[in-house]
Amino acid sequence: MEVVIVPDARAGGELIAGAMASLLRGRPDAVLGVATGSTPLPVYQALAGLVRAGEADVSRARIAQLDEYVGLPAGHPESYRSVLRREVLEPLGIEEDAFLGPDGTAADLPAACAAYERALAEAGGVDLQLLGIGTDGHIGFNEPCSSLASRTRLKTLTEQTRKDNARFFGGDVEQVPRHVITQGIGTILDARHLVLLATGEGKAEAVAAAVEGPVAAVCPASALQLHPHATVVVDEAAASRLR
Ligand code: F6R
């Protein structure tokens, strides 16, 4: 695992967008795994800037979703599909048919999870997976004590994560869904390059546990230590608890 300390979130975004652009130069139809939440936004903004400047070509790129809320109606503005359409697909000019994601509205959710695993495999796997990290060390929506070998499945969010995400639902934790579909930790580890971005003091404990703690299910992000090509990009504040 390599740890890169950058001055701020914007620099982290530029670094990772540059890595995506370089991947796409060698493999124009690469599968970019994307995360939602606040942390990755500087990456998407920087990548859109590179596209506008003619320094990145995303015309054949495919985009794969990490996780999704269960039970939000199709088109709900906070479903992760809607968020990714708004933050990634539209600014980058990527068509909907280049987008892979699990169906959080499916009547048969286990079948939807299995279908997403199949779709990822048929796409040839994820080339670069961008990850954020929860304050409790979660990646995707694999909360603490998720199996390190887990595959895409239904999960229940912890109260902490629902509180953390209430800001996207008008501050009302009751509006945050209780259940999600998430790529499992084993699924995430199948990606060829994992890039975790963490910014701000609030992530410092989780980053230290992930990078320097034992590999353990209590800190799902510690699974990155098992991956042959994992990069952790942190700003000074998120790096502040590293030894
Ligand atoms: C969302 C996801 C989550 C977030 C994490 C951090 O797709 O995978 O693991 O990355 O909850 O969220 P932010 O970036 O909002 O602090």
ipTM for the predicted complex: 0.99
Ligand 1 centre to CA of 79 (Å) is 13
Average of per-residue pLDDT across 141-146: 96
- DSSP state letter for 115: H
Best probe residue, ligand 1, of 16, 38, 39 (max atoms within 8 Å of C-beta): 39
Query: 132 CA to middle of ligand 1, Å?
Result: 5
pLDDT attached to residue 89 = 97
Q: What is the C-alpha to C-alpha distance for residues 112 and 116, in angstroms, rounded to an integer?
A: 6
**What pLDDT is attached to residue 21?**
98
Residue (of 147, 116, 141, 144) closest to 226 by Cα position: 147
Q: Ligand 1, from 67, 81, 133: best to mutate by most atoms within 8 Å of Cβ?
A: 133
Q: Is the pTM of this model over 0.90?
A: yes
Q: In the numeric block, which tokens belong to residue 93?
A: 């000019």
- Give exposure, 151-165, as e/b (b: 16+ Cβ within 10 Å): bbbbbebbeebbebb
Q: Which atom of ligand 1 is nearest to the CA of 200?
A: 16
Cα torsion angle, 166, 242, 193, 227, sign: negative
Q: In what order do the strands lie in the sheet with 31-34?
A: 2-6, 230-235, 193-198, 128-131, 31-34, 62-65, 99-100
Say what percent of the chain tops pLDDT 70.
100
Task: Flag whether pLDDT at 74 surpasses 90.
Answer: no
Does pLDDT of 149 surpass 90? yes
Q: Evaluate: CB of 138 within 6 angstroms of ligand 1.
A: yes
> What digits encode the pLDDT tens for the residues 162-212?
999 999 999 999 999 999 999 999 999 999 999 999 999 999 999 999 999
Residue 59 has pLDDT above 90, yes or no: yes
Mean pLDDT of 40-62: 98
Instruction: Report whether 34 contacts 183 (CB < 8 A).
Output: no
- Whether 213 lines ligand 1, by a CB cut-off of 6 Å, is no
Write the Ramachandran bin of 145: left for phi over 0, alpha for psi from -120 to 50, otherwise beta. left
The model's pLDDT over 83-101, given as tens digits with 9 standing for 90+, comes to 999 999 999 999 999 999 9
Span 16-46, pLDDT tens digits: 999 999 999 999 999 999 999 999 999 999 9
Q: What is the CATH number of domain 2-235?
A: 3.40.50.1360
pLDDT of residue 114: 98
Residue nearest to atom 8 of ligand 1 (CA): 140
As a whole number, the mean pLDDT across the chain is 97
Q: Is the CB of 136 under 6 A from ligand 1?
A: no
39 Cβ inside 6 Å of ligand 1: yes
At 31, is the secondary structure helix, strand, or coil?
Answer: strand
The set of residues, in sequence order, having a beta carbon less than 8 Å from that of 213 and lying 6+ positions away, is 219, 222
